[in-house]
Structure 1
Amino acid sequence: MTNNVNSYSIAGSIYANYIIQSIALIVIMQFSAEISKQFGTDLIGVGYIASGIGFGKIFLMFIGGILSDIFGRKPFIYLGMCCYIIFFIGLLFCHDIETAFYLAMFIGAGNSFLDTGSMPALTECFPRSAGTASVLIKAFISIGTLVLPFIVTVFHIYQLWYGYAFIGFVVYLLINLLFLLPRTFPSSNTVICSDKGESNYFIGKPNFWFEGICLIIMGFTTTATFVIILQWLPAIAEKGIGMDEISSKQLISYYSTASIISVFSTAYIVKKFVKPIYCIIILPLLSVVILSLFLMNLTPAMSFFVAIGMGLTAAGGVLQLTLVVMQQLFPDRKGLAVGTMYTLSGLSFVVIPLVIPKLAVTNVSYAILVDLIIALSSVILGVIVYSRFKKVVDMNKI
C-alpha cells in the first residue's frame, strides 16, 4: 500500500496527463484551418485524420487493459505519454494525409495506454474514494478543452505557427514523465470499498455477460454523447446555424467551464449523497432533455445553452462513473473493465468523425437527433444495469 503523500503525487501526475489527453483529442479540429492547409484538404479530410484517434484506441485498449492487470499500471502510463509525444512531433513534419491518419492513431494509442494504467491506479490509490478520484479526471480533461481554444485564438490573432504549441505540449509531457519516475504504485489487487472500509458488499453474483455487457456498451453511448458536442458543436454552429468562426470555437470554452463546475459538484455529490449507480441514469437523462430543446430551436443562443448544458451533464464524469460501477461489480477485473469499456469508448471516436460531418452538411438537425438517440440509449442501459445492481450488491455497503 502506498502512503498518502505518494498516492497524491501519483494522482497529481495522472491528472496532469489528462490535461494533455483532452488537448490531443480535439487539437486536430481546433487547428483545422492550419492542418487543412498543410495537407491540402477540407473539413471532411480533417475528420478522416481525426478518425485515426478512434482506430488507435480500439486496437490497443482491450489488450492494454489485460496487460495492465498483469504488468502493473506505471508502464502503461509511460507508454501513453510517449505516444502523445510521437504524435505532436510527428505531425509537424508530416505532409501526407495517410501518414497523418496513422499519427492520429498514436493519440488513440496514448489514450488507451493512459486510461488502462491511470483509471485502475486512481482507484487503487484511493479505494475508499474511487468515485470521487475517477470523476475528478473530468476536471482536468475540461481544463485542457477550456485552455486550448484560447491558445488557438492567440495563435490566429498573432499568426503564429501552430507547431510552437505542439512543442510546448511535448515539453510539458517530458517534465511530467520525470516527475512520475520515482513514484511507487499500489498493489493492483486493491479492492474498491466504502468510506468505512467495507469491501464485502455482494449479496449475489454479477453476470459479466449481462450487466457487464450493458456497461461496456455504455462506454460507447456516454462517450459519443459528448464527443459529438466536443468535436462538432463549433462546426455545427458555424456551418449550420450561422455563427462566426471565433464565436463558434469559443463554445467549447463554455462547454469546458461548465464541465469543470459539474465535475467538482458531481465529485462532492457522489462522495456525500448519491451513489454512482444513480448518476449513470440521471446525467444522461438530463442530456436527453437538453438535446431535445436544441433540436426544437437551432439558434446561436441555444448553441451557448447546449454548450453549457452538455458540459454540466454529458461531460460531468458520467463515463468515469460508469467505469466505477463496472469496477464495483467486477473488482478482480479492473484493468479488463477499463479495456473493454474504453474500447467501445474509442469506437465513438471512429464513428463520430465519419458520420457527423456528413449529417451536418446535409442537415444540422440530423446530427443533433443522432446525439439525442445515443443519450437516450445510455438512459435505457443505465436503468437495466441498476435493476441488476440492486440484486447483487448491498446498497447500504457501498
Structure 2
Amino acid sequence: MENRKINSYGIVGSIYANYIIQSIALIVIMQFSQALSKQLNTDIVGLGYVASGIGIGKIFLMFVGGVLSDKFGRKLFIYLGMICYAIFFVGIIFCTNIHIAFCLAIAVGAGNSFLDTGSMPALTECFPGAASSASVLIKAFISIGTLVLPFIVTFFDTNKIWYGWAFLGFTAYLIINSLLLLPQQFPHKDTTIKGCEGSVNYFTGNPRFEFEGILLIVMGFTTTATFVIILQWLPTIAIKGVNMSDIDANQLISYYSTASIISVFVTAFVVKRFLKPIFCIIILPALSALVLIVFYFNISPVMCVIAAIGVGFTAAGGVLQLTLVVMQQLFPTRKGLAVGCMYTFSGLSFVVIPRIVPKLAMINVSYAILIDFFIAVSSVLLGSIVFYRFKKVIDLTKI
C-alpha cells in the first residue's frame, strides 16, 4: 500500500476525537452520581465500587491489548475500544443492578486499554517524523473531555433533562467517529519512528528489552505517580499544612490543570524543534523534584500555588507519553507491547498511591510531598540509566 493512500491526518483526527470521549468515560459515573445513585439504589460508596471496575478492566487488559495489537494491527483495537465504550454508555442507562454496573465499568477499563494500545502506536506510525509531538498532544484532548463534561452535567441538571440523553449523545459521537475512521487505510504496524532527515537506520547496537525496556516500563509508574500525588493530595496538604480554606485548596487543581494543558503545547513544540525525548524524560522529572523539595522545606500558601503550577507543568504535560516514545524508538517492532506494559504500570500508580500516601499524610502531610520527591528522583535516575544505554545503541545525531 503506497503512502499516498494513507490519510494520516484523518486517522489521527479520529484518534484525538476518541480521547475526548475516553476522558469523559473515565469520570462520567461520579459526575452523574445523583442520577446513577437513584437508578442503582445505592450511595456514593456503592458508586465508588462501580467506578473501581474501570481500574480492573484497564490494568488486566492493557498488556494483552498491547501484545495483540502488535500481532493484529492498530485499527482493530481502536474499534474494540470504541465498542466497549458504546456498550457502557448504552448499557448503564438501562441498568438497575450495581453488580452489572460494575461489569459495565470494567468495559470502560477494557475500552481504555484497547484504545491506548491501538492509538498510541498508530500515532507514531502515522507521523514517524513527529512522533513525540503527536503523542504529547493526546494530553490536550484528554483535558478537553474533563473540561467539557462538568458543563454538560450542569446543563442537564439545570434543565432537568434525563441524563441518558447525554449517554446516548456520547454513543452517537462514537458511531459518527467510527464511520469516519472506517475507510482509512492505516500505516504498516512495523513503521519505524524516523530521525533526522527521515532516517530510520539509527541503530548502532542492539537494545535489550530485559534491561532498558524494563527500566522504561518502571518509569511508566514513577512518571505517573509524581503527578497523581499532587493531583489527589495537594488540596489536603494545603488545608492541613497551611490552613487554607476548602475553596482555595480546591482551586489549586485548576492551576494544576491549566499548567498541564499549557505544558502539552510547550512540550510538543520543544521536542519538535529543540530537545529529543530522551533528554526530556530526565530534565522534566528533575524539575519536578526541584519544585517538590523546595515545597517540602517551605509549605506555605504561595508555595502550594507554585507546586500546583510547577508539577502540573513538569510532570503532567506529557512525560509519560515521551517515555513511551523513547521506548518505541528503541523497540520499533514492539510498540504495542511497549504501550501495554508501560500503561499497565502507569495504571498501577492509581492503585498503589491511594494505599500509601493517606497513611503517610495522617502522620504528617509533608511526608506526602517527600515521597513524591523521591519518586521524581527515581524517574531521573532511571531516565539517566536509559540515556546511557540509549547512547550505546542509537546514533543521537540521526534521531
TM category (shorter chain) comes to 0.7 to 0.9
Report Cα offsets for 1:129-184 as digits up to 9, x if no partner.
11111111112122223333444555666676655543433232222122111111
1:371 corresponds to? 372
Which residue in 2 is equivalent to 1:86? 87
> Which residue of 2 is the match for residue 198 of structure 1?
199
Tell me how far apart the structure 1 counterparts of residues 114 and 369 of structure 2 sit (CA, whole Å).
Answer: 31
User: Which residue pairs with 2:175 in the alignment?
Assistant: 174
- The 1:383/1:263 distance shift into structure 2, 3 A limit, reads same
Distance 2:57 2:156 in 1: 28
Distance 2:155 2:305 in 1: 21
Instruction: Describe the superposition over 1:92-145 as per-residue Cα deviations: whole angstroms up to 9, x where unpaired.
Output: 444555444433322221111011111111111111111111111112122223
The residue that corresponds to 1:287 in the other structure is 288
Task: Give the match's secondary structure for 1:274.
Answer: coil
Paired position in structure 1 for 2:386: 385
Match of 2:308 in 1: 307
Q: Distance in 2 between matches of 1:229 and 1:53?
A: 22
**Paired amino acid for 1:285:** A
Pair 1:11 & 2:12 matched: yes
* 1:209 matched residue in structure 2: 210
Report the Cα distance in structure 2 between the residues aligned to 1:16 and 1:250, rounded to whole angstroms: 28
What is the distance in 1 between the residues matched to 2:33 and 2:361? 17
TM-score (norm 2): 0.87
Pick which of 259-268 and 151-160 moved more: 151-160
Q: Which residue of 2 aligns with 1:324?
A: 325
Distance change >3 Å, CA 104–CA 370, structure 1 → 2 = farther
Q: 1:132 to 1:40 in 2, by over 3 A?
A: same
Given that 2:6 and 2:185 are in contact with CA atoms closer than 8 Å, whether structure 1 keeps it comes out as no
Q: Give CA-to-partner distance per residue, 1:216-257, whole Å, 9 cap, x none.
A: 111111122233444555676678865446x66554443333
Partner of residue 77, structure 1:
78
> Is 1:62 equivalent to 2:69 in the alignment?
no
Q: Give the fraction of aligned pairs with identical amino acids, expressed as a percent.
A: 69
Q: Residue 342 of structure 1 aligns with which residue?
A: 343
User: Hey, what's the Cα distance between the residues in 2 that align with 1:5 and 1:75?
Assistant: 16
Aligned to 1:128: 129
Structure 2 counterpart of 1:55, one-letter code: I
Deviations 1:298-320 (A, max 9, x none): 56654443333222111111111
Query: Separation in 1 of the partners of 2:30 and 2:235?
Result: 9
Equivalents in 2 of 1:155, 1:364: separation in Å? Answer: 38
Structure number with higher relative contact order (C-alpha < 8 Å, ≥ 6 residues apart): 1
Letter in 2 for 1:142: S
Task: Tell whether the 8 Å contact from 1:145 to 1:252 is kept in structure 2 after alignment.
Answer: no
Give the Cα–Cα distance (whole angstroms) in 2 for the partners of residues 394 and 233 of structure 1: 41
1:329-363 deviations in whole A, cap 9, x for unaligned? 11111111111111212222333455556666675
Query: 1:369–1:298: structure 2 CA closer, same or farther, 3 Å change rule?
Result: same
Q: Assess, with a 3 A threshold, how the Cα gap between structure 1 residues 234 and 102 changes in structure 2: closer, same or farther.
A: farther
- Listed as ranges, the gaps of 5+ residues in structure 1 are none
TM-score by length of 1: 0.87
Letter in 2 for 1:74: K
Within 2, Cα distance between the matches of 1:252 and 1:378? Answer: 23
What residue is the counterpart of 2:268 in the other structure?
A: 267
* Residues 4/363 of structure 1: CA separation in 2 closer, same or farther (3 Å cut): farther
Distance, in Å, in 2 between the alignment partners of 1:66 and 1:232 is: 34
Give the superposition deviation at 1:289. Answer: 2.6
Deviation, structure 1 residue 322: 0.5
Deviation per residue, 1:267-291 (Å, 9 max, x gap)? 1110111010010111112222333
Q: CA deviation at 1:10?
A: 0.3
Worse-matched range after superposition: 21-30 or 313-322? 21-30
Q: Distance in 2 between matches of 1:223 and 1:75?
A: 27
Hey, what does 2:279 align to over in structure 1? Answer: 278
User: Deviation of residue 386 (structure 1)?
Assistant: 0.9
Larger radius of gyration: 2
Cα 1:106/1:366, change in 2 over 3 Å? farther
- Compared with structure 1, are the counterparts of its residues 355 and 155 closer, same or farther at alpha carbon in structure 2 (3 Å cutoff)? farther
Equivalent residues of 2:62, 2:344 under 8 A apart? yes
CA contact (8 A) 2:124 2:131 kept: yes
Moved more, 281-290 or 125-134: 281-290
Q: Is the deviation greater in 311-320 or in 139-148? A: 139-148
TM-aligned CA distance change 1:236 to 1:147, over 3 Å: farther
The answer as to 2:253 corresponding to 1:258 is no
- Quote the RMSD (CA, aligned, Å): 3.1
Task: Return the alpha-carbon distance in structure 1 between the equivalents of residues 90 and 299 of structure 2.
Answer: 39
Q: Displacement, 1:9?
A: 0.5
8 Å contact kept, 1:2–1:125: no
Offset, 1:26: 3.4
Aligned equivalents of 1:128 and 1:23: distance in 2?
30
Q: 1:282 to 1:165 in 2, by over 3 A?
A: farther
Which SS does the other structure have where 1:205 is aligned? coil
Q: Tell me the number of residue pairs that the alignment of Structure 1 and Structure 2 aligns.
A: 396
CA 1:177–1:70 in structure 2 vs 1: closer, same or farther (change >3 Å)? same
Q: How does 1:224-239 map to 2 (within 5 A)?
A: 224-230=225-231, 233=234
Could you tell me which amino acid in structure 1 is paired with residue 377 of structure 2?
Answer: L
Distance, in Å, in 2 between the alignment partners of 1:248 and 1:156 is: 26
CA distance in 2, matches of 1:363, 1:119: 39
SS at match of 1:281: helix
Post-superposition offset of 1:51: 3.5
Change (3 A) 1:315 1:165: farther
